[in-house]
Structure 1
Amino acid sequence: MVDIATRVWNHKWKIDPIVRSLIDTDFYKLLMCQTVFRRHPDTRVTFSLINRTTSVPLARLVDEGELREQLDHIRGLSLSRGESTWMHGNTFYGKRQMFTPAFMDWFEDLRLPPYHLERVGDQYELTFEGAWPEVMLWEIPALAVLMELRGRAVLRDLGRFELQVLYARAMTKLWEKVARLKALDDLRIADFGTRRRHSFLWQDWCVQAMQEGLGASFTGTSNCLIAKNRDLEAIGTNAHELPMVYAALADTEDALRQAPYDVLADWHEEHEGNLRVILPDTYGTRGFLDHAPDWLAGWTGMRIDSGDPAEGAETAIAWWKSRGEDPAEKLIIFSDGLDVGKIEELYARFSGRVRVSFGWGTLLTNDFRGLTQGDALAPFSLVCKARYANGRPTVKLSDNPEKATGPGEEVARYRRVFDVGHQKRREVVV
C-alpha cells in the first residue's frame, strides 16, 4: 500500500501528476461522450469553472504557473494500449462492447482541446471551447486539478511527521465511517468522489478501504482508472449536462419543454437495465415527473441529486405508484452531499420500500474537516458546467435554487416554461 504522507512530502508533479490518464475520469462521462459523439458531434460548447465557495480564494492559494503546468500535462495525455483494451473488452453493466469501434477509434486519437485561463481577483476563470465531445471531457480533470492544487498548497508547509499524523487521522476517520456502514445489511454503496477528491492517491486508498471494509456491499467506483486497476465495476449513468445542452439547442418553448425527455429517449435507444436511471431534477423534479411519458415509468430507477433527498425519494415512490409500478422493484440512487449519518438515515427510511443505493462523493474522498488549523482542507463547492451551446446560454435549475446556473433572465424563462413553483433553498456544502 502506498505511503501517502511520504509521497506528499517528496512529491514532484512529474512523479505524481494530478491527472494521469484520460480515463482518470467518471464512467458517466465516457457513456455520455459516446452519446454526444453519435448524435451531436458538431455542437459547439463552452464549459467554465464556477467556485460556489467564494470564501476560498483559489487564485491566492494556487500558483498560476503550477496550474498551467498541470493543465498542459493533461493536454498531452492519450489513451494507452491497456486502457483501450479495457474499454474494448471489459463487461460494463452486463454488456460487452459498451463502446463502439467508431467511438474507440476517435477516442484513441483524442487530445483534449486548448483551455483559457485568466486570474480575476482572487479567483480563476478557466474556460474550454470547442466541439462538445472533446470539451466535455475537460470537466472532471479540471475539477480534480484545482481541488488537489489547493490541497497541496495547504500541505506544503507541513513537516514530515505532521503529514504522517494528518493522514493517520484521516484514515481513522474514514475507517470509523466504514465500520458504521458495515452494520447496514444489504447496503449498496459506490464511490462517486472523483471530481472533488483530495488527491488521486487518496481516492485510491479510500476505494481500497471500502473494498476491504464493506466487501460485497461496495459495488464499485465511478473512476474508470481505479476501476481498471482494482478490477472493480465502473459505476455511472448520465448527468445534467445532457438536458442542459439539449435544452439550449431548442428553437421553441415547446421544444424546450420536450428537451429533457428527448435526452432520455436517445438514452433509451442505447442502454438498458441499470443504465436506465432517470435524473429528474435539472428543471425541477415535480414538473418533470408530472409531464413524463408513460414509458419512462418502466425504467429501472431514479437518482436523487438535489433538494431534500427524503422528499425526492417520496416523490419518486408516489410517482411510480401513480403509473402502476411497484416501487419495491425500483432503484433509488442517492448522490447529493452524502455523509455517513445521512446514509444511515436514508437507509433506515427507505430500505425495503425501494432498492436503495448510494453514490458517496466528496465526503468520502475529501473529508479532512477538523484535521488542520483553520479547517484549511475542508472541501468546498467547485463545479465545471456547460455555459453555452452553439452560442446560446445553458440553464440548470435543480430542486435547490442555490444550485441554479445561467443568466438571470434565462433562469426566469426556464422556471416559467417548466412551471417550477416555490423551491426551498438549501445550503450547498459540496
Structure 2
Amino acid sequence: MPENHSVILTSILDNDFYKFTMQQGVIRLFPNAKVRYQFINRGKHSFPAEFHVALRRAIDDMAVLKLSAAEKRFLKNTCPYLDSVYLDFLEGYRYQPSEVKIEQDGDQIQVSIEGLWYRTILWEVPIMSLISELFYTLKGAAHSSDEAMTELTRNKIESYHKLGVTIAEFGTRRRFSYANHRLVLNALEKYGKGTFIGTSNVHLAMLHHTRPIGTHAHEWFMFHAAKYGFKMANAMGLEHWVQVYRGDLGIALSDTYTTDVFFRQFDKMFSKLFDGVRHDSGDPLLFTDKVIAHYQKMGIDARSKTIIFSDALNYEKVERIAHYCHNKIGISFGIGTNLTNDAGPEPMNMVIKMTETQPQHEDWTEVIKLSDEQGKHTGTERMIHLAKTILKID
C-alpha cells in the first residue's frame, strides 16, 4: 500500500440527509441508546489483499472532518426543522474511528460499528461509499470517461423529463467514486431543470444549490421494535417522528416489518398527517394498489398523497410505475446506483445494517428487518421467526 494517499471524503455532509434528521431525533429522544452495525457482503465480492489497510486509513482520515461555517449556514437556511441546538452539536461533532472495527480474512472483509446511537448513526453511508470506491480503485477497474458519464446522465434525465416525472438522486452509498458522483450531479443540474428535484447527499445538495431529500431509514423502526416490541414499532416510530418534526419531513417508510403490518397502524391521524409513503422493496405496482386502497379506506383522496419509489430503479421500471400510477396518486422517484454507479463495472451489492441495540441501560437486543422482499430480510433466523409469529406473518 503506498505511503502517500489522497483523502477521499472531504466534507462531514458527504452523507445521506436522513442520517442527520434521524440523528437529531436520537439526540432528543434516545441519547443513551447504544447500537451495533455490521457490513453484509450480499454480492459475495472478493476484496483484494490488504483492502482492510486502505479502508482503515480512509476511515481514520475522517476524524478531521467538521462542519464548516458555510455548511452550518446552508443547513440553517435550507432545513429550518433542524434546530439551533442540533446544529451547534453537529458543529462540534467529530467522527471517532475507534468505533469502527475492520478485519480481513482472505478475500473477505468484516466491518463492525459499535457505540452510542447518536454518534455512530453517521458511519453507515460514508463507509459504504469508501468500500465501493476503494474496491474499484484497488482492482484497477476500467470505467467510462467523464464525457461518456456526462452524456449518459444527460440522456437519462432527459428521458425522465419526457416521461413527465420528478427524480431525486439517492446514490451516495454505492457510488463508483466521489468524482463520478460529482459528474452525475453536474449533468443532472445542467440538463434536468424541472425534473431533477434534489439529492439525498447533503454536501452535494449544497454545492449544486438544490435541496437535500430524505426522512428516516429502517433503523429508526428497528430500534423502536427493540424498545417497544414488534407490534408497537411502527406506531411508536411514527409518533416519535411527529413529536420531533411536527409535520415536516412527512414521507413514511413502510416496509421495515412488511407493508401489510405497517398499514395496520397507519391510522387516519397518521394517514392525514404524513404526506405519503416510500416504497423500498417488493412489487411496486402491488404496493401502489395497497397504498391507494388504504387511503380509500381512510376516506382520503389518494391523489393528494405521494409515493416515493426508491427500490433499484432504472428507466424501464420508472416508466412502468409512472404509467400505472397516472391520475391515481402522486409519485416521485429516488434513483441511486443506476445514476452514480453506471460507469462500466458491475455495481457492488452490499449493505451495512443495525444488528443489535441497547435502548436505555437495558440488555442488548437483536434487531431485524422484514421487508416486502424475502431476500432483503436482515437478522438472525431465530429473531425473524419470532417477529413473524408475533406479527402473524406467513
TM-score normalised by L of structure 1 = 0.85
Equivalent residue number for residue 57 of structure 1: 46
Task: After TM superposition, give the deviation of residue 61 of structure 1 in Å.
Answer: 6.1
Equivalent residue number for residue 22 of structure 1: 12
Further displaced range: 74-83 or 41-50: 74-83
CA shift in 2, pair 1:202/1:274, >3 Å:
farther
SS for the counterpart of 2:192 is: helix
Task: After TM superposition, give the deviation of residue 288 of structure 1 in Å.
Answer: 1.6
Task: After TM superposition, give the deviation of residue 13 of structure 1 in Å.
Answer: 4.2
CA shift in 2, pair 1:67/1:292, >3 Å:
same
Equivalent residue number for residue 374 of structure 1: none
Equivalent residue number for residue 174 of structure 1: 153
Matches within 5 A, 1:308-347: 308-347=283-322
SS for the counterpart of 2:393 is: coil
Task: After TM superposition, give the deviation of residue 62 of structure 1 in Å.
Answer: 6.2
Aligned AA for 2:243? E
Does 1:303 pair with 2:282?
Answer: no
C-alpha distance in 2 between matches for 1:140 and 1:275 = 20
Aligned AA for 2:292? I
CA shift in 2, pair 1:290/1:395, >3 Å:
same
Question: Which of the residues 113, 119, 129 maps onto 2:104?
Answer: 119
Equivalent residue number for residue 374 of structure 2: 401
C-alpha distance in 2 between matches for 1:76 and 1:141 = 14
C-alpha distance in 1 between matches for 2:174 and 2:355 = 20
Does the Cα contact within 8 Å between 2:149 and 2:183 map onto a contact in 1? no
Equivalent residue number for residue 149 of structure 1: 134
Does 1:385 pair with 2:353?
Answer: yes
Aligned AA for 1:181? Y
Q: What are the Cα deviations for residues 302-323 of structure 1, in whole angstroms up to 9, with x where unaligned?
A: 1000011111111101111111
What runs of 5+ residues in structure 2 fail to find an aligned partner?
359-363
SS for the counterpart of 1:359 is: strand
Equivalent residue number for residue 132 of structure 1: 117
Q: What are the Cα deviations for residues 258-301 of structure 1, in whole angstroms up to 9, with x where unaligned?
A: 12210110111222556111211100101221343321111210
Equivalent residue number for residue 340 of structure 2: 365
Task: After TM superposition, give the deviation of residue 75 of structure 1 in Å.
Answer: 2.2
C-alpha distance in 1 between matches for 2:70 and 2:192 = 29
Equivalent residue number for residue 426 of structure 1: none
Task: After TM superposition, give the deviation of residue 120 of structure 1 in Å.
Answer: 3.0
C-alpha distance in 1 between matches for 2:8 and 2:317 = 30
Does the Cα contact within 8 Å between 1:193 and 1:365 map onto a contact in 2? yes
SS for the counterpart of 1:387 is: strand
CA shift in 2, pair 1:28/1:205, >3 Å:
same
Does the Cα contact within 8 Å between 1:45 and 1:130 map onto a contact in 2? yes
Q: What are the Cα deviations for residues 65-95 of structure 1, in whole angstroms up to 9, with x where unaligned?
A: 211110101122121222122223x133xxx
C-alpha distance in 2 between matches for 1:79 and 1:195 = 20
Q: What are the Cα deviations for residues 175-204 of structure 1, in whole angstroms up to 9, with x where unaligned?
A: 32223212122x211011111111112112
Does 1:419 pair with 2:392?
Answer: yes
SS for the counterpart of 1:183 is: helix
Does the Cα contact within 8 Å between 2:49 and 2:106 map onto a contact in 1? no
Further displaced range: 286-295 or 20-29: 286-295
Task: After TM superposition, give the deviation of residue 31 of structure 1 in Å.
Answer: 0.4
Equivalent residue number for residue 107 of structure 1: 90
C-alpha distance in 2 between matches for 1:207 and 1:305 = 23
C-alpha distance in 2 between matches for 1:62 and 1:307 = 37
C-alpha distance in 1 between matches for 2:265 and 2:75 = 37
CA shift in 2, pair 1:146/1:49, >3 Å:
same
Task: After TM superposition, give the deviation of residue 394 of structure 1 in Å.
Answer: 0.8
What runs of 5+ residues in structure 1 fail to find an aligned partner?
1-11, 372-376, 422-430
C-alpha distance in 1 between matches for 2:245 and 2:122 = 21
Question: Which of the residues 70, 75, 88 maps onto 1:87?
Answer: 75
Task: After TM superposition, give the deviation of residue 27 of structure 1 in Å.
Answer: 0.8
Does 1:76 pair with 2:44?
Answer: no
The alignment covers a number of residue pairs equal to 383
Task: After TM superposition, give the deviation of residue 99 of structure 1 in Å.
Answer: 1.8
Does 1:241 pair with 2:241?
Answer: no
Does 1:354 pair with 2:329?
Answer: yes
Aligned AA for 2:325? F
RMSD over aligned Cα atoms? 1.7
Does the Cα contact within 8 Å between 1:61 and 1:150 map onto a contact in 2? no
Q: What are the Cα deviations for residues 10-47 of structure 1, in whole angstroms up to 9, with x where unaligned?
A: xx742xx3221111001111000000010011101111
SS for the counterpart of 1:275 is: coil
C-alpha distance in 2 between matches for 1:81 and 1:13 = 27
C-alpha distance in 2 between matches for 1:61 and 1:241 = 32
Does the Cα contact within 8 Å between 1:280 and 1:288 map onto a contact in 2? yes
SS for the counterpart of 2:333 is: strand
* Consecutive aligned runs of 4 or more in structure 1 exceeding 6 Å deviation: none
Does the Cα contact within 8 Å between 1:47 and 1:136 map onto a contact in 2? no
Question: Which of the residues 55, 61, 73 maps onto 1:67?
Answer: 55
CA shift in 2, pair 1:154/1:120, >3 Å:
closer
Does the Cα contact within 8 Å between 1:283 and 1:420 map onto a contact in 2? no
Does 1:208 pair with 2:196?
Answer: no
TM-score normalised by L of structure 2 = 0.93
SS for the counterpart of 2:122 is: helix
